[in-house]
């Protein structure tokens, strides 16, 4: 005998068991399964009331996973893409800005290990760090070896 398809809440819990999702992400993923208008919102309200959906946990999860590899700009983009409150995103990123130079140096060291030997190679190093979302000032300081923290 065939099992009935999972409920909206069941689908949401399955998604949340893999990783933290923002409410906006869950709405986007579950909208196609909503049969009756308003049922998705009620299911998500219930999960939020029981603290299964937490913006703060989503932010912390992204920071823990991505801060070692990415700069503030890329992490901001990722958090905004999750539909999180701008104030919460800005507050979380304020703490990351203080470690940006140190994190950029570590990412650069893992990838290149030694200073660029030519201007074209230095440009390649800079592009690499730029695609990771590090700021121009931080990139310049890392690639030129300038350590005026």
How much is the pLDDT for 147? 60
CATH number of 100-144: 1.10.10
Alpha-carbon span 109 to 119, nearest angstrom: 18
39 touches 8 (CB < 8 A): yes
- Copy the structure tokens of residue 136: 């121009």
pLDDT in tens, 22-64: 999 999 999 999 999 999 999 999 999 999 999 999 999 999 9
Report d(CA 105, CA 69) in Å as an integer: 10
pLDDT of res. 120? 95
Q: What is the pTM (predicted TM-score) of this model?
A: 0.84
What would you report as the CA-atom Rg of the chain, rounded to the nearest whole angstrom? 20
Instruction: Kindly report, as residue ranges, where domains of CATH 1.10.10 are found in the chain.
Output: 100-144
pLDDT at site 149:
46
Low-confidence ranges of the chain (pLDDT < 70): 1-2, 147-149
Let me know: does 44 contact 23? Beta carbons within 8 Å. yes
């Amino acid at each position: 005998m065939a099992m009935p398809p999972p409920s909206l809440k069941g689908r949401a819990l399955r998604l949340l068991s893999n990783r933290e999702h923002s409410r906006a992400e869950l709405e986007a993923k579950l909208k196609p399964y909503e049969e009756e208008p308003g049922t998705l919102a009620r299911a998500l309200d219930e999960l939020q009331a029981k603290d299964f959906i937490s913006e703060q946990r989503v932010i912390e999860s992204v920071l823990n996973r991505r801060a070692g590899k990415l700069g503030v700009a890329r992490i901001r983009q990722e958090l905004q893409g999750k539909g999180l409150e701008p104030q919460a995103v800005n507050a979380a990123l304020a703490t990351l800005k203080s470690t940006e130079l140190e994190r950029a140096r570590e990412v650069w060291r893992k990838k290149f290990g030694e200073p660029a030997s030519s201007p074209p190679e230095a440009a390649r190093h800079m592009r690499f760090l730029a695609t990771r979302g590090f700021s121009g000032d931080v990139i310049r300081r890392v690639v030129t070896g300038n350590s005026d923290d």
